[in-house]
Amino acid sequence: MPEKTTVILNQSGIERALTRIAHEILERNKGTEDLVLVGIRAGGDHLAAELARRIAVIEGEKIGLGAIDITMYRDDIGSRGSLPVGRTDIPFDIDDKKVVLVDDVLFTGRTIRAAMDAIIDLGRPRNIQLAVLVDRGHRELPIRPDYVGRNVPTAREEDIEVEFDANHQPREVRLIKH
Amino acid sequence: MSFGHKHILGIEQLSREDIFYILDTAESFKEINTREIKKVPTLRGKTIINLFFEASTRTRTSFEIAGKRLSADTINISASSSSVVKGETLEDTARNIEAMHPDIIVMRHGASGAPHYLAERLDCSVVNAGDGAHEHPSQALLDLFTMREKKGRLEGLEVAIVGDITHSRVARSNLYALTRVGARVRLSGPGTMLPPGIDRLGATVCDSLEAAVEGADVVMMLRIQLERQSRGGPLLPSLREYSRFYGLTPEKLKLARPDALVMHPGPMNRGVEIASSVADGPQNVILDQVENGVAVRMALLYLVAGGEAPANE
Protein backbone atom coordinates (compact mmCIF):
# COMPACT_ATOMS: atom_id res chain seq x y z
CA MET A 1 0.00 0.00 0.00
CA PRO A 2 1.40 3.48 -0.77
CA GLU A 3 2.43 5.69 2.13
CA LYS A 4 0.30 8.69 3.04
CA THR A 5 2.08 11.58 4.73
CA THR A 6 0.36 14.35 6.68
CA VAL A 7 2.22 17.35 8.09
CA ILE A 8 1.02 17.78 11.65
CA LEU A 9 3.40 20.58 12.69
CA ASN A 10 5.18 22.96 10.35
CA GLN A 11 8.19 25.06 11.32
CA SER A 12 6.22 27.91 12.88
CA GLY A 13 4.00 25.40 14.70
CA ILE A 14 7.10 23.73 16.16
CA GLU A 15 8.54 27.10 17.19
CA ARG A 16 5.33 28.11 18.96
CA ALA A 17 5.21 24.75 20.76
CA LEU A 18 8.84 25.09 21.91
CA THR A 19 8.31 28.66 23.13
CA ARG A 20 5.27 27.54 25.11
CA ILE A 21 7.20 24.60 26.63
CA ALA A 22 10.05 26.95 27.59
CA HIS A 23 7.58 29.19 29.45
CA GLU A 24 5.92 26.21 31.12
CA ILE A 25 9.29 24.85 32.32
CA LEU A 26 10.17 28.24 33.84
CA GLU A 27 6.71 28.64 35.38
CA ARG A 28 6.74 25.23 36.98
CA ASN A 29 10.32 25.47 38.26
CA LYS A 30 9.96 29.11 39.32
CA GLY A 31 12.93 30.25 37.27
CA THR A 32 16.24 28.68 36.31
CA GLU A 33 17.82 27.87 39.66
CA ASP A 34 19.32 24.32 39.57
CA LEU A 35 17.53 23.73 36.27
CA VAL A 36 19.28 21.75 33.50
CA LEU A 37 18.14 20.31 30.18
CA VAL A 38 19.25 16.92 28.90
CA GLY A 39 18.28 15.94 25.36
CA ILE A 40 18.02 12.33 24.25
CA ARG A 41 20.05 11.55 21.12
CA ALA A 42 19.27 11.82 18.33
CA GLY A 43 16.58 14.46 17.99
CA GLY A 44 15.89 15.33 21.62
CA ASP A 45 19.36 16.87 21.92
CA HIS A 46 18.60 19.35 19.12
CA LEU A 47 15.25 20.25 20.71
CA ALA A 48 16.91 20.67 24.13
CA ALA A 49 19.35 23.15 22.56
CA GLU A 50 16.40 25.10 21.12
CA LEU A 51 14.62 25.12 24.49
CA ALA A 52 17.80 26.27 26.26
CA ARG A 53 18.14 29.11 23.74
CA ARG A 54 14.54 30.23 24.37
CA ILE A 55 14.95 30.00 28.16
CA ALA A 56 18.10 32.14 27.91
CA VAL A 57 16.17 34.78 25.93
CA ILE A 58 13.22 34.78 28.36
CA GLU A 59 15.22 34.73 31.62
CA GLY A 60 18.48 36.29 30.47
CA GLU A 61 20.38 33.35 31.98
CA LYS A 62 22.07 30.34 30.44
CA ILE A 63 21.21 26.97 31.89
CA GLY A 64 23.11 23.66 31.77
CA LEU A 65 22.60 21.73 28.54
CA GLY A 66 23.60 18.11 28.02
CA ALA A 67 22.94 15.22 25.66
CA ILE A 68 22.46 11.60 26.54
CA ASP A 69 22.76 8.47 24.41
CA ILE A 70 20.66 5.62 25.74
CA THR A 71 21.79 2.79 23.46
CA MET A 72 23.70 1.10 26.28
CA TYR A 73 20.55 1.17 28.42
CA ARG A 74 18.19 -0.42 25.90
CA ASP A 75 16.56 -3.71 26.83
CA ASP A 76 16.41 -5.19 23.34
CA ILE A 77 19.99 -6.17 22.38
CA GLY A 78 18.74 -9.76 22.02
CA SER A 79 16.06 -8.86 19.48
CA ARG A 80 17.50 -5.82 17.70
CA GLY A 81 21.22 -6.51 17.76
CA SER A 82 23.90 -4.04 18.76
CA LEU A 83 22.85 -0.63 17.52
CA PRO A 84 25.44 2.10 16.96
CA VAL A 85 26.36 3.72 20.28
CA GLY A 86 26.49 7.50 20.44
CA ARG A 87 28.13 9.78 22.97
CA THR A 88 26.80 10.99 26.27
CA ASP A 89 27.95 14.52 26.96
CA ILE A 90 26.76 16.05 30.21
CA PRO A 91 29.27 18.77 31.12
CA PHE A 92 27.91 19.44 34.62
CA ASP A 93 27.27 17.64 37.89
CA ILE A 94 23.65 16.50 38.02
CA ASP A 95 23.49 15.91 41.79
CA ASP A 96 20.54 17.82 43.26
CA LYS A 97 19.63 19.35 39.87
CA LYS A 98 16.14 19.61 38.40
CA VAL A 99 16.68 17.67 35.17
CA VAL A 100 14.30 18.19 32.26
CA LEU A 101 14.67 15.28 29.83
CA VAL A 102 13.83 16.31 26.27
CA ASP A 103 12.81 13.98 23.44
CA ASP A 104 11.14 14.46 20.08
CA VAL A 105 8.50 11.72 20.12
CA LEU A 106 7.07 9.89 23.15
CA PHE A 107 5.81 6.42 22.20
CA THR A 108 6.08 3.28 24.39
CA GLY A 109 8.05 5.02 27.16
CA ARG A 110 10.93 2.54 26.97
CA THR A 111 13.38 5.16 25.70
CA ILE A 112 12.48 7.44 28.61
CA ARG A 113 12.91 4.60 31.11
CA ALA A 114 16.37 3.94 29.63
CA ALA A 115 17.21 7.66 29.78
CA MET A 116 16.16 7.85 33.45
CA ASP A 117 18.36 4.84 34.25
CA ALA A 118 21.25 6.52 32.44
CA ILE A 119 20.74 9.81 34.32
CA ILE A 120 20.56 8.06 37.68
CA ASP A 121 23.86 6.28 36.94
CA LEU A 122 25.47 9.69 36.54
CA GLY A 123 24.27 11.18 39.82
CA ARG A 124 21.28 11.87 42.02
CA PRO A 125 19.09 14.61 40.58
CA ARG A 126 16.50 16.32 42.79
CA ASN A 127 13.85 15.41 40.24
CA ILE A 128 13.46 14.42 36.60
CA GLN A 129 10.82 16.02 34.36
CA LEU A 130 9.94 15.14 30.79
CA ALA A 131 9.37 17.42 27.81
CA VAL A 132 8.40 16.02 24.39
CA LEU A 133 7.48 17.64 21.12
CA VAL A 134 4.94 14.95 20.19
CA ASP A 135 3.13 12.43 22.37
CA ARG A 136 1.75 9.71 20.12
CA GLY A 137 0.39 7.40 22.82
CA HIS A 138 0.78 3.59 23.12
CA ARG A 139 2.60 3.63 26.44
CA GLU A 140 3.95 0.30 27.71
CA LEU A 141 5.28 1.76 30.95
CA PRO A 142 3.74 4.14 33.51
CA ILE A 143 5.42 7.27 32.11
CA ARG A 144 3.68 10.61 31.59
CA PRO A 145 5.23 13.76 30.09
CA ASP A 146 5.21 17.03 32.01
CA TYR A 147 5.41 19.22 28.90
CA VAL A 148 3.93 18.28 25.51
CA GLY A 149 4.16 20.20 22.24
CA ARG A 150 1.32 18.32 20.57
CA ASN A 151 -0.75 15.23 21.40
CA VAL A 152 -1.24 13.11 18.28
CA PRO A 153 -3.37 10.01 18.69
CA THR A 154 -1.85 7.45 16.30
CA ALA A 155 -2.38 3.90 15.22
CA ARG A 156 0.39 1.41 16.11
CA GLU A 157 1.38 0.93 12.51
CA GLU A 158 1.70 4.65 11.83
CA ASP A 159 4.99 6.51 12.22
CA ILE A 160 5.84 10.00 13.43
CA GLU A 161 8.86 11.65 11.84
CA VAL A 162 10.53 14.82 13.06
CA GLU A 163 12.72 16.36 10.40
CA PHE A 164 15.68 18.59 11.24
CA ASP A 165 17.65 20.67 8.76
CA ALA A 166 21.43 20.62 8.39
CA ASN A 167 21.77 23.08 11.30
CA HIS A 168 19.70 20.79 13.54
CA GLN A 169 16.75 23.19 13.44
CA PRO A 170 13.41 21.36 13.62
CA ARG A 171 11.57 21.81 10.33
CA GLU A 172 8.51 19.60 10.20
CA VAL A 173 6.61 16.85 12.06
CA ARG A 174 4.91 14.33 9.81
CA LEU A 175 2.48 11.47 10.37
CA ILE A 176 3.09 8.58 7.99
CA LYS A 177 0.41 6.01 7.30
CA HIS A 178 1.75 2.83 5.70
CA MET B 1 26.17 0.58 9.27
CA SER B 2 25.68 -2.31 11.64
CA PHE B 3 28.21 -4.89 12.78
CA GLY B 4 27.80 -8.18 10.99
CA HIS B 5 30.23 -10.40 12.90
CA LYS B 6 29.27 -12.97 15.48
CA HIS B 7 32.91 -13.73 16.30
CA ILE B 8 36.14 -11.72 16.48
CA LEU B 9 38.73 -14.27 15.43
CA GLY B 10 41.27 -11.98 13.82
CA ILE B 11 41.81 -8.64 12.13
CA GLU B 12 42.10 -10.53 8.86
CA GLN B 13 38.30 -11.00 8.80
CA LEU B 14 37.57 -7.30 9.43
CA SER B 15 37.12 -4.66 6.75
CA ARG B 16 38.36 -1.08 7.05
CA GLU B 17 34.77 -0.04 7.86
CA ASP B 18 34.51 -2.72 10.58
CA ILE B 19 37.74 -1.44 12.18
CA PHE B 20 36.54 2.18 12.26
CA TYR B 21 33.12 1.08 13.53
CA ILE B 22 34.79 -0.74 16.45
CA LEU B 23 37.03 2.27 17.23
CA ASP B 24 34.06 4.67 17.13
CA THR B 25 32.03 2.39 19.41
CA ALA B 26 34.99 2.21 21.81
CA GLU B 27 35.04 6.04 21.97
CA SER B 28 31.53 5.96 23.45
CA PHE B 29 32.47 3.27 25.93
CA LYS B 30 35.57 5.14 27.08
CA GLU B 31 33.37 7.80 28.68
CA ILE B 32 31.90 5.17 31.04
CA ASN B 33 35.35 4.35 32.42
CA THR B 34 35.74 7.89 33.74
CA ARG B 35 32.40 7.97 35.57
CA GLU B 36 31.96 7.51 39.27
CA ILE B 37 29.64 4.55 38.61
CA LYS B 38 31.59 2.68 35.92
CA LYS B 39 28.81 0.39 34.85
CA VAL B 40 26.01 0.23 32.29
CA PRO B 41 23.33 -2.48 32.03
CA THR B 42 24.00 -3.22 28.34
CA LEU B 43 24.87 -6.93 28.67
CA ARG B 44 22.81 -7.67 31.75
CA GLY B 45 21.95 -11.37 31.89
CA LYS B 46 24.71 -12.37 29.45
CA THR B 47 27.41 -14.80 30.52
CA ILE B 48 30.99 -14.37 29.35
CA ILE B 49 33.59 -17.07 29.97
CA ASN B 50 37.24 -16.06 29.81
CA LEU B 51 38.93 -19.29 28.78
CA PHE B 52 42.66 -18.79 29.11
CA PHE B 53 44.94 -21.69 28.23
CA GLU B 54 48.02 -19.46 28.38
CA ALA B 55 49.20 -17.23 31.18
CA SER B 56 47.86 -13.70 30.95
CA THR B 57 47.09 -11.09 33.53
CA ARG B 58 46.69 -7.94 31.48
CA THR B 59 44.42 -9.20 28.70
CA ARG B 60 42.32 -11.41 30.95
CA THR B 61 41.81 -8.65 33.52
CA SER B 62 41.01 -6.17 30.76
CA PHE B 63 38.35 -8.46 29.27
CA GLU B 64 37.00 -9.23 32.73
CA ILE B 65 36.66 -5.54 33.62
CA ALA B 66 35.11 -4.84 30.21
CA GLY B 67 32.48 -7.55 30.73
CA LYS B 68 31.72 -6.44 34.27
CA ARG B 69 31.33 -2.79 33.26
CA LEU B 70 28.71 -3.92 30.76
CA SER B 71 26.94 -5.85 33.58
CA ALA B 72 27.65 -9.28 32.09
CA ASP B 73 28.49 -12.17 34.40
CA THR B 74 32.13 -12.99 33.73
CA ILE B 75 33.78 -16.24 34.74
CA ASN B 76 37.49 -16.96 34.40
CA ILE B 77 38.83 -20.39 33.60
CA SER B 78 42.57 -20.83 33.32
CA ALA B 79 44.41 -23.84 32.00
CA SER B 80 45.99 -24.69 35.32
CA SER B 81 42.56 -25.07 36.93
CA SER B 82 40.80 -26.70 33.97
CA SER B 83 40.53 -30.33 33.01
CA VAL B 84 43.08 -29.77 30.24
CA VAL B 85 45.76 -30.76 32.70
CA LYS B 86 43.85 -34.01 33.18
CA GLY B 87 44.00 -34.80 29.49
CA GLU B 88 40.67 -33.44 28.20
CA THR B 89 40.58 -32.41 24.54
CA LEU B 90 39.76 -28.86 23.49
CA GLU B 91 36.53 -30.05 21.91
CA ASP B 92 35.40 -31.80 25.10
CA THR B 93 36.31 -28.75 27.19
CA ALA B 94 34.33 -26.59 24.76
CA ARG B 95 31.28 -28.88 24.80
CA ASN B 96 31.26 -28.92 28.56
CA ILE B 97 31.46 -25.15 28.70
CA GLU B 98 28.73 -24.81 26.10
CA ALA B 99 26.44 -26.96 28.22
CA MET B 100 26.57 -24.07 30.71
CA HIS B 101 25.10 -21.77 28.01
CA PRO B 102 27.56 -18.88 27.86
CA ASP B 103 26.85 -16.08 25.38
CA ILE B 104 30.48 -15.21 24.66
CA ILE B 105 33.72 -17.14 25.12
CA VAL B 106 36.89 -15.06 25.22
CA MET B 107 39.72 -17.41 24.45
CA ARG B 108 43.49 -17.42 24.61
CA HIS B 109 45.30 -20.50 23.39
CA GLY B 110 48.87 -21.40 22.55
CA ALA B 111 47.83 -23.01 19.25
CA SER B 112 47.10 -20.82 16.23
CA GLY B 113 43.54 -21.36 15.03
CA ALA B 114 42.16 -22.71 18.33
CA PRO B 115 39.45 -19.98 18.57
CA HIS B 116 38.41 -20.72 14.95
CA TYR B 117 38.06 -24.38 15.86
CA LEU B 118 35.80 -23.45 18.76
CA ALA B 119 33.77 -20.94 16.75
CA GLU B 120 32.92 -23.59 14.17
CA ARG B 121 31.61 -25.97 16.81
CA LEU B 122 29.79 -23.78 19.32
CA ASP B 123 26.66 -21.65 19.14
CA CYS B 124 28.01 -18.80 21.24
CA SER B 125 30.26 -15.95 20.09
CA VAL B 126 34.01 -16.45 20.30
CA VAL B 127 36.48 -13.61 20.80
CA ASN B 128 40.14 -14.38 20.18
CA ALA B 129 42.32 -13.05 23.01
CA GLY B 130 45.50 -14.32 21.35
CA ASP B 131 46.13 -17.61 19.53
CA GLY B 132 49.70 -18.85 19.27
CA ALA B 133 51.78 -16.69 16.96
CA HIS B 134 48.72 -15.97 14.79
CA GLU B 135 46.58 -13.02 15.90
CA HIS B 136 45.75 -10.81 18.87
CA PRO B 137 42.96 -8.67 17.42
CA SER B 138 41.91 -6.78 20.55
CA GLN B 139 45.52 -5.67 21.13
CA ALA B 140 45.84 -4.34 17.58
CA LEU B 141 42.52 -2.50 17.89
CA LEU B 142 43.52 -0.85 21.17
CA ASP B 143 46.83 0.12 19.58
CA LEU B 144 44.99 1.75 16.66
CA PHE B 145 42.58 3.43 19.08
CA THR B 146 45.53 4.90 21.02
CA MET B 147 47.29 6.06 17.84
CA ARG B 148 44.12 7.73 16.55
CA GLU B 149 43.47 9.34 19.93
CA LYS B 150 47.00 10.77 20.16
CA LYS B 151 47.63 11.58 16.49
CA GLY B 152 44.10 12.40 15.36
CA ARG B 153 44.40 10.13 12.34
CA LEU B 154 45.58 6.73 11.19
CA GLU B 155 45.90 7.23 7.48
CA GLY B 156 49.45 8.01 6.40
CA LEU B 157 51.04 7.27 9.79
CA GLU B 158 54.49 5.68 9.63
CA VAL B 159 54.57 2.90 12.21
CA ALA B 160 57.76 0.99 13.08
CA ILE B 161 57.30 -2.42 14.72
CA VAL B 162 60.54 -3.79 16.13
CA GLY B 163 61.42 -7.14 17.65
CA ASP B 164 60.51 -10.78 17.31
CA ILE B 165 58.07 -10.48 14.39
CA THR B 166 57.96 -14.24 13.76
CA HIS B 167 56.51 -15.11 17.15
CA SER B 168 54.42 -11.98 17.57
CA ARG B 169 50.67 -12.20 17.14
CA VAL B 170 50.58 -8.52 18.11
CA ALA B 171 52.78 -7.64 15.12
CA ARG B 172 50.68 -9.72 12.73
CA SER B 173 47.35 -8.25 13.86
CA ASN B 174 48.78 -4.74 13.83
CA LEU B 175 50.18 -5.26 10.34
CA TYR B 176 46.77 -6.34 9.02
CA ALA B 177 44.95 -3.53 10.83
CA LEU B 178 47.36 -0.70 10.04
CA THR B 179 47.68 -1.47 6.35
CA ARG B 180 43.89 -1.77 6.08
CA VAL B 181 43.36 1.75 7.47
CA GLY B 182 46.04 3.33 5.30
CA ALA B 183 49.02 3.51 7.67
CA ARG B 184 52.48 2.37 6.55
CA VAL B 185 54.27 -0.33 8.51
CA ARG B 186 58.02 -0.90 8.79
CA LEU B 187 59.21 -4.07 10.42
CA SER B 188 62.63 -4.67 11.90
CA GLY B 189 64.29 -7.36 13.96
CA PRO B 190 67.11 -9.88 13.78
CA GLY B 191 67.01 -11.98 10.61
CA THR B 192 66.12 -15.04 12.68
CA MET B 193 62.98 -13.25 13.89
CA LEU B 194 61.62 -11.99 10.59
CA PRO B 195 59.44 -14.48 8.74
CA PRO B 196 60.36 -14.74 5.05
CA GLY B 197 57.81 -13.13 2.73
CA ILE B 198 56.31 -10.85 5.40
CA ASP B 199 56.78 -7.92 2.99
CA ARG B 200 54.07 -9.48 0.81
CA LEU B 201 51.57 -8.49 3.53
CA GLY B 202 52.28 -4.84 2.78
CA ALA B 203 55.11 -4.03 5.21
CA THR B 204 58.51 -2.59 4.50
CA VAL B 205 61.25 -4.71 6.05
CA CYS B 206 64.15 -2.64 7.41
CA ASP B 207 67.57 -4.12 8.09
CA SER B 208 68.19 -2.11 11.24
CA LEU B 209 66.23 -0.54 14.05
CA GLU B 210 67.60 2.85 13.01
CA ALA B 211 66.21 2.50 9.48
CA ALA B 212 62.80 1.51 10.85
CA VAL B 213 62.62 4.27 13.43
CA GLU B 214 63.85 7.15 11.25
CA GLY B 215 61.01 9.62 10.72
CA ALA B 216 58.43 7.27 12.27
CA ASP B 217 55.23 8.60 13.90
CA VAL B 218 54.90 5.55 16.13
CA VAL B 219 57.56 3.16 17.43
CA MET B 220 56.12 -0.11 18.70
CA MET B 221 58.54 -2.32 20.59
CA LEU B 222 57.76 -6.01 21.01
CA ARG B 223 58.63 -8.17 23.96
CA ILE B 224 61.37 -10.70 23.45
CA GLN B 225 59.47 -13.89 24.16
CA LEU B 226 62.16 -16.08 25.61
CA GLU B 227 59.59 -18.76 26.45
CA ARG B 228 58.84 -19.32 22.76
CA GLN B 229 62.46 -19.64 21.72
CA SER B 230 63.47 -22.72 23.60
CA ARG B 231 61.56 -24.96 21.17
CA GLY B 232 63.79 -24.66 18.12
CA GLY B 233 66.97 -23.49 19.79
CA PRO B 234 67.92 -19.91 20.58
CA LEU B 235 67.35 -17.23 17.92
CA LEU B 236 69.66 -14.77 19.62
CA PRO B 237 73.33 -15.00 20.53
CA SER B 238 72.62 -13.06 23.72
CA LEU B 239 70.14 -10.61 25.21
CA ARG B 240 72.97 -8.14 25.57
CA GLU B 241 73.64 -8.22 21.84
CA TYR B 242 69.92 -7.97 21.06
CA SER B 243 69.62 -4.99 23.35
CA ARG B 244 72.56 -3.30 21.64
CA PHE B 245 71.13 -3.65 18.15
CA TYR B 246 67.37 -3.70 18.70
CA GLY B 247 66.82 -2.02 22.07
CA LEU B 248 65.15 1.40 21.96
CA THR B 249 67.36 3.94 23.68
CA PRO B 250 66.82 7.72 23.98
CA GLU B 251 69.47 8.28 21.28
CA LYS B 252 67.78 5.94 18.80
CA LEU B 253 64.37 7.40 19.55
CA LYS B 254 65.69 10.81 18.46
CA LEU B 255 65.72 9.46 14.88
CA ALA B 256 61.92 9.28 14.96
CA ARG B 257 59.69 12.33 14.60
CA PRO B 258 59.94 14.58 17.68
CA ASP B 259 56.30 13.86 18.54
CA ALA B 260 56.56 10.11 17.91
CA LEU B 261 54.66 7.77 20.22
CA VAL B 262 56.40 4.88 21.96
CA MET B 263 54.20 1.82 22.36
CA HIS B 264 54.63 -1.61 23.88
CA PRO B 265 52.01 -4.33 24.28
CA GLY B 266 53.53 -5.33 27.63
CA PRO B 267 54.87 -6.86 29.70
CA MET B 268 58.15 -5.02 29.07
CA ASN B 269 61.64 -6.38 29.49
CA ARG B 270 63.24 -3.17 30.69
CA GLY B 271 66.81 -2.82 29.52
CA VAL B 272 66.31 -5.44 26.79
CA GLU B 273 63.94 -4.20 24.07
CA ILE B 274 63.35 -0.84 25.71
CA ALA B 275 65.52 1.34 27.94
CA SER B 276 63.90 2.32 31.21
CA SER B 277 64.31 6.01 30.44
CA VAL B 278 62.32 5.55 27.20
CA ALA B 279 59.71 3.35 28.87
CA ASP B 280 59.12 6.09 31.44
CA GLY B 281 59.72 9.00 29.06
CA PRO B 282 57.26 11.64 27.90
CA GLN B 283 56.63 9.97 24.54
CA ASN B 284 55.42 6.66 25.96
CA VAL B 285 51.70 5.87 25.77
CA ILE B 286 51.99 2.40 27.27
CA LEU B 287 49.53 3.04 30.11
CA ASP B 288 47.13 4.76 27.68
CA GLN B 289 47.18 1.49 25.73
CA VAL B 290 46.15 -0.40 28.87
CA GLU B 291 43.41 2.12 29.68
CA ASN B 292 42.05 2.12 26.13
CA GLY B 293 42.13 -1.69 26.12
CA VAL B 294 39.12 -1.79 28.44
CA ALA B 295 37.04 0.51 26.20
CA VAL B 296 37.99 -1.40 23.04
CA ARG B 297 37.15 -4.74 24.64
CA MET B 298 33.82 -3.37 25.89
CA ALA B 299 33.08 -2.40 22.29
CA LEU B 300 34.02 -5.87 21.01
CA LEU B 301 31.87 -7.67 23.59
CA TYR B 302 28.94 -5.35 22.88
CA LEU B 303 29.21 -5.73 19.13
CA VAL B 304 29.50 -9.53 19.07
CA ALA B 305 26.63 -9.82 21.56
CA GLY B 306 24.30 -8.28 19.00
CA GLY B 307 26.13 -9.38 15.87
CA GLU B 308 24.87 -11.93 13.39
CA ALA B 309 27.00 -14.61 11.81
CA PRO B 310 27.22 -14.12 8.04
CA ALA B 311 26.96 -17.26 5.95
CA ASN B 312 30.72 -17.51 5.51
CA GLU B 313 31.63 -17.11 9.18
**Per-residue pLDDT reduced to its tens digit, A80-89:** 778 889 889 9
Above 90 in pLDDT, residue B282?
yes
Strand order across the beta sheet in which A98-106 lies: A64-68, A35-40, A98-106, A127-135, A147-151
Active site residue B86: yes
Query: To which CATH superfamily is domain B7-135+291-305 assigned?
Result: Aspartate/ornithine carbamoyltransferase (3.40.50.1370)
CB atoms within 10 A of CB B92: 12
- What are the backbone dihedrals phi and psi of residue B181, each rounded to the nearest 5 degrees, phi first? -95, 5
B304-B64-B99 Cα angle (round to 5) = 65
Name the residue ranges covered by the structural domains of chain B.
7-135+291-305, 137-285
Report how far residue B92's alpha carbon sits from residue B98's, in angstroms, rounded to the nearest whole number.
Answer: 10
Selected residue with higher pLDDT from B78 and B146: B146
Q: What is the pLDDT of residue A29?
A: 98
Q: Which is the catalytic residue, given B25, B59, B93, B166?
A: B59
- What are the backbone dihedrals phi and psi of residue B47, each rounded to the nearest 5 degrees, phi first? -115, 125
State the amino acid at position B292 in one-letter form.
Answer: N
Q: Where are the alpha helices (DSSP H) in chain B?
A: 16-32, 58-69, 90-98, 114-121, 137-151, 169-180, 209-213, 226-229, 239-246, 250-253, 276-279, 286-306
Does the complex come out with an ipTM higher than 0.85?
no
- Residue B295: list chain A partners with CB under 8 A: none
**CATH number belonging to the domain at B137-285, selected among 3.40.640.10, 3.40.50.1370, 3.40.1160.10, 2.40.50.140:** 3.40.50.1370
Which three-class secondary structure state does DSSP give residue A155?
Answer: coil
Among A138, A127, A140, smallest CA distance to A101 is for A127
Above 50 in pLDDT, residue B127?
yes
- CB contact at 8 A, A86 and A69: yes
Report how far residue B220's alpha carbon sits from residue B23's, in angstroms, rounded to the nearest whole number.
Answer: 19
Cβ of residue A13 closer than 8 Å to a chain B Cβ: no
Name the residue ranges covered by the structural domains of chain A.
13-69+86-154
Q: How far is CA A92 from CA A99, A148, B92, B265, in A?
A: 11, 26, 53, 35
Per-residue pLDDT tens digits for B232-266? 567 777 888 999 999 999 999 999 999 999 999 98
Equal CATH topology for B7-135+291-305 and B137-285: yes
Report how far residue B29's alpha carbon sits from residue A116's, in angstroms, rounded to the nearest whole number.
Answer: 19
Q: What is the pLDDT of residue B311?
A: 42
- Look at domain A13-69+86-154 and name its CATH class: alpha beta
Reported pTM: 0.90
Query: By percentage, how much of chain B surpasses pLDDT 70?
Result: 93
Contact A82 B40 (CB under 8 A): no
Q: Which is the catalytic residue, given B58, B151, B184, B257?
A: B58
Q: Looking at the complex, report in whole angstroms how far the Cα of residue A86 sits from the nearest Cα belonging to chain B.
A: 6
Interface-testing mutation among B29, B33, B40, with chain A (most A C-beta atoms within 10 A): B40
- CB contact at 8 A, A175 and A152: yes
CB atoms within 10 A of CB B273: 25
Q: Looking at the complex, report in whole angstroms how far the Cα of residue A69 sits from the nearest Cα belonging to chain B.
A: 9
A42's CB contacts (< 8 A; 6+ apart) are: A86
